Amino acid sequence: MGMLKKEDAMQFQKIHGQILRKHHLFSALSDSDLAKLMHGTRVLSVGKGEFLFQQNEEARHFYFVVSGCMKLFRTLPDGTEKIIELVPSNQTFAEALMFSSQTMYPVSAQAVEPAELFSFSNVDYMALLKSSPDLSFVLLADLSRRLRMRLNEIEVLSLKNSTHRVVRYLLTQIVGSEAEYPQFDLPVAKRLIAGQLAIQPETFSRIVHRLKEEGIIDMKGKEVTVLDRYALANYE
């Protein structure tokens, strides 16, 4: 891990600028603003099972996952672990804390597979926000989208049964795909997905097996093929 040197900033931008520009937090930045932000960026490598930060540590940075997958979870008073989110590559996390009076991370972040990340300074990004109204509106739109996602998750977890949670999860993986038989890879182990859905791993496997038997999906290893999108969307 390390801080980018000034002379490396332009090369760093050339290599990774395209990836970052596809993300809403960076798409509205000018070339010069992106270069300023990246000047203070740290490049981190986190091994499988390694912690990036732990619950209640001081929050001074937010992160972009270049590769791998990060697990965000809370440790409850009884010692059990509640998975809040699985963050795959090309996604960010912890940026909302820039606007919160809370100065500590409310979750722990752990790599579920080897991961590379960019660590951005909250102070540096906030300075750019103050000078760019367009960027502020983009970020507000993202935070609103994430709030809607969280409300949907609360509804699913509190009102819907295990089968509906699994079906809903599978459907979110194919949003935007126009393929007749859309395919995707499970981003992490089934037990982690089950934890995110607040169900037991064996329950997740049993529901997937039933969907396979009924010809609605096929699964080979981590690769899932949706054979009947309508039947999946209307499955009870």
pLDDT at residue 117, as a whole number: 94
Check: CB of residue 69 under 8 Å from CB of residue 86. yes
Domain boundaries, the chain: 2-139, 160-233
pLDDT attached to residue 218 = 95
Q: Would you say 46 and 113 are in contact if contact means Cβ atoms under 8 Å apart?
A: no
Contact by Cβ (8 Å): 107, 73 = yes
Q: Which CATH number describes the domain made up of 2-139?
A: 2.60.120.10
Kind of pairing, strands 51-53 and 223-226?
Answer: unpaired
How many Cβ atoms from other residues are within 10 Å of residue 65's Cβ? 20
Domain 160-233, CATH = 1.10.10.10
Q: Hey, do 2-139 and 160-233 end up sharing a CATH topology, with the first three levels equal?
A: no
Q: What is the pLDDT of residue 16?
A: 66
Name which of 124, 130, 134, 111 is nearest 46 in CA terms.
Answer: 111
pLDDT at 4: 46
Find, among 175, 208, 180, the residue nearest to 193 by Cα: 208
CA 208 to chain centre: 23
Rg of the chain in Å (alpha carbons): 19
Q: H-type helices in the chain, by residue range?
A: 9-21, 24-27, 31-39, 122-131, 133-159, 162-172, 190-196, 201-213, 229-233
The torsion of the CA quartet 79, 85, 91, 97, rounded to 10 degrees, works out to -60
Name the pairing type of β-strands 51-53 and 108-121: antiparallel
Tell me the pLDDT of the chain (236 aa) as tens digits: 455 454 454 555 556 667 888 887 887 788 888 888 888 888 899 999 999 999 999 999 999 999 999 999 998 888 888 888 899 888 999 988 887 777 899 999 999 999 999 999 999 998 888 887 777 777 777 777 777 776 666 655 554 688 888 998 899 889 888 888 999 998 888 888 888 888 888 999 999 999 999 999 999 988 999 999 999 988 86
Output the CA–CA distances (angstroms, integers) from residue 204 to 170, 181, 210, 211, in the order listed: 11, 22, 10, 11
